[in-house]
Amino acid sequence: MTLTPLKYPVQEKALILGIESSCDETAASVVLWEKGKPIKILSSIIASQNTEHAPYGGVVPEIAARAHLLKIEGIIENAVQEADINYVDLDAIAATAGPGLIGGVITGLMAAKGISMSLNIPLIAVNHLEGHALSPSLSEDCPFPYLLLLVSGGHTQLLSVKGLGNYRRIGSTLDDAAGEAFDKTAKVMGLGFPGGPKVEHLAKSGDSKAVDLPRPLKGKNHADFSFAGLKTAVSRAYNASNKTETAKANIAASFQEAVCDVLNDRSRRAMKFFIDDPDVNSNKKHHFVVAGGVAANTKIRESLETLCESENFKFVAPPLKYCTDNAAMIALAGAQHYAVGNFDNISVKARPRWPLDMIAATQKPKSGYGKKGPKS
C-alpha cells in the first residue's frame, strides 16, 4: 500500500538534514533552503565502502547493510557538527526511502525516523532517483522543464522533468545500465573496484579505435538503451586479446567511446521527442541535464556537452562530487518537498524499487517486473 504524504502549509525557509544509504555510500548533509535564494550546503559527509567490497569486485548487499549500521550514527553527527548547528535547529529531516539495496535503505530511513520522532520535526521520504534528477540545482538554477539523462550504476533513463514529482519517461534501458557495463568491463579485465573510475583512467592511455565494438540500438527511432550486448562484446574482445596492459587500455578506450556514442545517439533522439512535447515551449533554449554516478566520467560529460552545442541545448551537470551518491541531493529534494508542504507519515516504508515515472513503469516496464514492483 502506498501512503499518501501529509500536506502542510507552504514554507518559506528550512534547515534540513539529508541521509543517503541506498547502495555503498553512507552519507549525511545539512542544507539551508530559503525561498528565492540558492541552496546553501552547510555540510556534506560521505563514507565510502570501497575497502569492504574490493575483495569481491562489486557491492555485496549484506556487507553494505552492516557497514551502514556501523557508520551512520557517526556520519550524521559529523554532518551536524560541520554545519555548526544543533539538532534542535533542524526544521525537517529527509532520507532516501528507495530505490536501492533494501538493507541500506532501511538503515538510513530508520535513522531519519528516530530523529524525526525525537525532535518532533517532519520526515520527508525521498526517491533516490529524484535526488539525482534535482541535483543540478545544488550549483546553479535549472528551471523546469528540462531533459534529464539519468545514468548510474543501476539506471539509465531519459526523462522529461516537468516539475517536482512530474516526470515523464522518454527512454530507458532494456537490460543493463551503463554503470553496470562499466563495472563488468572492469571485472572482466581484473581492474578492481570501483570499476567505472578504473576503466576511465585506463582508457586515457588507450586507442579508442583499436577494437571494433557494437553500438546497440544506435539509429533506432526511439530513445531506449541496451548495454548487455556491449558487455558481451567486451568480454569476447578481452578473451581474444593478448591481455597486455596495452590491450586492456585499448579495450577500455574503445568501450568508453562506444558508450559515449550510444548515449549521444539516444540523447539526440530524446531531444527531438522532448521538443515535440506540446507542454514544452519549442522556441526557447532548454536545459539538458546529465546526473548520476556515470556523469562523473569526464569523457562522457565532454561528449554530451558537444552534443548540446550542436542541438541548441544548454548542458548542465552537477559538480563531480555531487554526481555519485551523496546526501546533499537528498536534502535538496527534501527541501523542494518541504517548500510545498509535502511531508510523510512516520510509517512510510523503504522500497527496493521506486521508478520516477511510475505510470509508464507499471504499464510498460523496460527492464523487468518483479514481485516488488517495476524496475524502470
- Picking from 277, 312, 295, 265, the residue whose alpha carbon sits closest to that of residue 167 is 277
pLDDT at position 376, please? 45
Answer yes or no: do 116 and 174 share one domain: no
The pLDDT tens digits for 170-205 are 999 999 999 999 999 999 999 998 899 999 999 999
Domain annotation covers residue 113 = yes
Domain annotation covers residue 130 = yes
C-alpha cell at 254: 574503445
Answer yes or no: do 165 and 267 share one domain: yes
Domain annotation covers residue 253 = yes
Answer yes or no: do 306 and 342 share one domain: no
Domain annotation covers residue 1 = no
Answer yes or no: do 91 and 210 share one domain: no
Answer yes or no: do 348 and 213 share one domain: no
Q: Which of 291, 317, 343 is the last residue of a domain?
A: 317
Domain annotation covers residue 364 = yes
Domain annotation covers residue 218 = yes
Answer yes or no: do 174 and 273 share one domain: yes
The Cα–Cα gap between 81 and 83 comes to 5
Q: What is the CATH number of the domain that holds 15?
A: 3.30.420.40
Residue numbers in the chain where pLDDT is lower than 70: 1-10, 358-376
Answer yes or no: do 183 and 295 share one domain: yes
pLDDT at position 8, please? 58
Domain annotation covers residue 355 = yes
- Positions of E strands within 21-137: 25-34, 40-48, 92-98, 123-127
Backbone φ/ψ region at 368: left (φ over 0), alpha (ψ -120 to 50), beta = left
Answer yes or no: do 191 and 81 share one domain: no
The Cα–Cα gap between 235 and 227 comes to 13
Q: Which of 277, 292, 317 is the last residue of a domain?
A: 317
pLDDT at position 2, please? 45
> Residue 35's domain spans which residues?
6-135+322-374
pLDDT at position 317, please? 93
Answer yes or no: do 100 and 198 share one domain: no
Answer yes or no: do 264 and 181 share one domain: yes
Answer yes or no: do 180 and 309 share one domain: yes
pLDDT at position 1, please? 39
pLDDT at position 154, please? 85
Domain annotation covers residue 271 = yes
How distant, in Å, are the alpha carbons of 46, 75, 131, 188, 352 from that of 326? 7, 12, 9, 28, 18
Q: Which of 317, 335, 363 is the last residue of a domain?
A: 317
Answer yes or no: do 152 and 301 share one domain: yes
The total of structural domains in the chain comes to 2
Q: What is the pTM of this model?
A: 0.91
pLDDT at position 282, please? 74
The Cα–Cα gap between 335 and 231 comes to 39
